[in-house]
A and B are shown apart, each in its own frame.
Chain A
Amino acid sequence: SYELTQPPSVSVSPGQTASITCSGDRLGDRNVCWYQQKSGQSPVLVIYQDSKRPSGIPERFSGANSGSTATLTISGTQAMDEADYYCQAWDSSTAVFGGGTKLTVL
């Protein structure tokens, strides 16, 4: 079965750039979404189709996908961005989530 691999945790200082990776076999050939989940809340879509932002998502969130790695980048990270982030892609009529990355802003 298809697998997506994310680092368990990433730390960033306020105002700096955070990068969260998601790796999978030929992931660049697929469309990747990213979801943000703050503690005790439901997930929120922050990036779809590799790099598109839904309305209401700040411009500091961006995405890229090439080769075997997709990357979510948060520029000028704010304390409110502290959350778990999940990548997701589809494979053979099955949706797959990465294991999630806990972003700590300190």
Chain B
Amino acid sequence: EVQLVESGGGLVQPGGSLRLSCAASGFTFSSYAMSWVRQGPGKGLEWVSTISGSGGSTYYADSVKGRFSISRDNSKNTLYVQMNSLRVEDTAIYYCAKEDDSSGYYVSVNWGQGTLVTVSS
């Protein structure tokens, strides 16, 4: 059974930094791309970033480009996102998702339970 467990969320001041982790199990982690998707309070889903299985390719939403950095440690089956220069509008639940690209494009087939990031002074 696929399990994705996010951690690292919390309260941080504007301009601060935070690193989120997503521990994966139940599948061959290095064979799958992974993504971060967020959801602000009372808002819809917003894609944040995706990383290929090898870690060699990364993609970012314009809203986080230059501030967030996605990475993975395939030896630890763990996905990360380093979030710097945080803004109030980054406040959201952050989900990690396992991507399947067998159809030629990424599909988020499994999601974690999310971790809450609150950016406030």
Chain A: residues with CB nearer than 8 A to chain B?
Answer: 1, 31, 33, 35, 37, 42-45, 48-49, 52, 54, 84, 86, 88, 90, 93-100
Contact = CB atoms under 8 A, between A and B. Distances in A.
A31 B44 CA distance: 20
A67 B5 CA distance: 39
Contact of A31 (B37, B50, B105, B109): B105
Interface in B1-41: 35, 37
A82 to B, nearest CB: 17
A3 to B, nearest CB: 12
Contacts of B46: 97
The interface residues of chain B, by DSSP majority, are classed as strand
A43 B111 contact: yes
Given A31-B103, A86-B44, A95-B35, A43 B108 contact: yes
Interface of B: 35, 37, 44-47, 50, 59, 61-62, 95, 103-109, 111-114
Given A1-B62, A43-B95, A44-B111, A90 B105 contact: yes
Contact of B61 (A31, A84, A86, A94): A94
A94 B47 contact: yes
